[in-house]
Amino acid sequence: MTAPLPTGKGPLPTVTAITAVGSMMELFWCCLPKDPDSVVISNRFAIEDSGLALMRHGMRPVGLAECLGPASCAEGEDRVRKALGGKAAFVRRPADQPGLVDLLYGPEEADVREAARVLDELLQAKTHRPDLIKGMGAYLGYPACCLEAFCELNEFEKRNLGWAYARLRAECPGPVDPRQNPFTGLKPYHLPCGPNCAETLALIDAAACFMSSEAPAMLTNELAISTCPIVFSLGSFPSFSLLLGGKEQQPGTLTYQRAIAFGGDPAFALLAKGNRLEIHEGDLSLFSGNVPIGRFVDQFAVWWWRKAFDHEYWLGEVMRRAHGH
């Protein structure tokens, strides 16, 4: 079965048709804040983000906020009503995630309703069915190349997105475009087919372009986040901690001024107490000055635009886990 195409406002523009945003890199570098203390992590379940900007401009039929509890549901619905006139639908997560729902929202009620039907089928299915993934992805405005790549992922990575992102960064050990940082509010919420996917970058650019006039403060903030080293949780993705003022003092050693955490991983509280990380093959040792205060083994990986740490280790480890040995 193939999910019907979104009915929204005519056909979606292809990313190559998006207005050229040649000045984006210029804007990007101008936006970097001088004061790292001014950076905040916005609520990723808020809907006033890049995804909503893309939706307002007809590039994304439906938006999705996953795994909301009752309080977030009420808040989310209220925001949808204010921002879009109330086209929202809730889909219950399966029985192993009791009490949690996904919120779908968009300007066209028919799209939201049909996307909710596809999502419900996807959540109930015991396997990741490519037809449903591609159908859902079309509603969310995800690039076809990335959806194709997602369908071909091994089951281990599909179920452990933190590991998939560790592998993705490791595939391109040198610098990548900072805008591809998956932990900013600019990201379009899908796993890119590669760390330099041009279609993903075009979506990020389009969102940033809209935000530069509609939400300039948020854009500034998110661009600043995009250049920070980020420690992310392999097991509870997308929990992460920004390392503000992060620098590589010597190969494999990151120093930072302040860590700000997002998401529920309690180990991040410890990062806030330290100022130096030594990174070696999946093993992150944390120090405050010269005092060791914590050690995390195969628990966190680091995303930084300047380089991938221990890329050979991550590529090997993901393959080893994917094949169950």
- The least distance separating Zn ion from the CB of residue 200, rounded to whole angstroms, comes to 5
Told to check if 5 binds Zn ion by CB under 5 A, we report no
- The least distance separating Zn ion from the CB of residue 148, rounded to whole angstroms, comes to 8
Q: DSSP string covering 108-174, please?
A: -HHHHHHHHHHHHHHHHSSS--HHHHHHHHHHHT--HHHHHHHHTS-HHHHH-HHHHHHHHHHTS-S
**Residue whose CB is less far from Zn ion, 197 or 215:** 197
Q: Cα torsion at 120, 100, 102, 131 (round to 10°)?
A: -30
CB atoms within 10 A of CB 64: 20
Instruction: Give how many residues touch Zn ion by CB under 5 A.
Output: 6
Task: Assess contact for 114 and 135: CB atoms under 8 A.
Answer: no
User: Applying CB under 5 A, which of residues 54, 55, 65, 197 lies at the interface with Zn ion?
Assistant: 197
| Distance (Å, whole) CA 22 – CA 223 | 16
Site for Zn ion in 129-158 (CB under 5 A): 143, 145-146
Told to check if 168 binds Zn ion by CB under 5 A, we report no
| Distance (Å, whole) CA 128 – CA 135 | 12
Told to check if 191 binds Zn ion by CB under 5 A, we report no
**Residue whose CB is less far from Zn ion, 202 or 279:** 202
Q: Which stretch binds Zn ion (CB under 5 A): 14-22, 71-79, 112-120, 195-203?
A: 195-203
**Residue whose CB is less far from Zn ion, 198 or 270:** 198
- The least distance separating Zn ion from the CB of residue 146, rounded to whole angstroms, comes to 4
Told to check if 176 binds Zn ion by CB under 5 A, we report no
In the numeric block, which tokens belong to residue 123?
């959540």
Q: Which residues contact 49 (CB under 8 A, 6 or more apart)?
A: 42, 185, 218
**Residue whose CB is less far from Zn ion, 88 or 197:** 197
What does the binding site for Zn ion look like in residue numbers (CB under 5 A)? 143, 145-146, 193, 197, 199
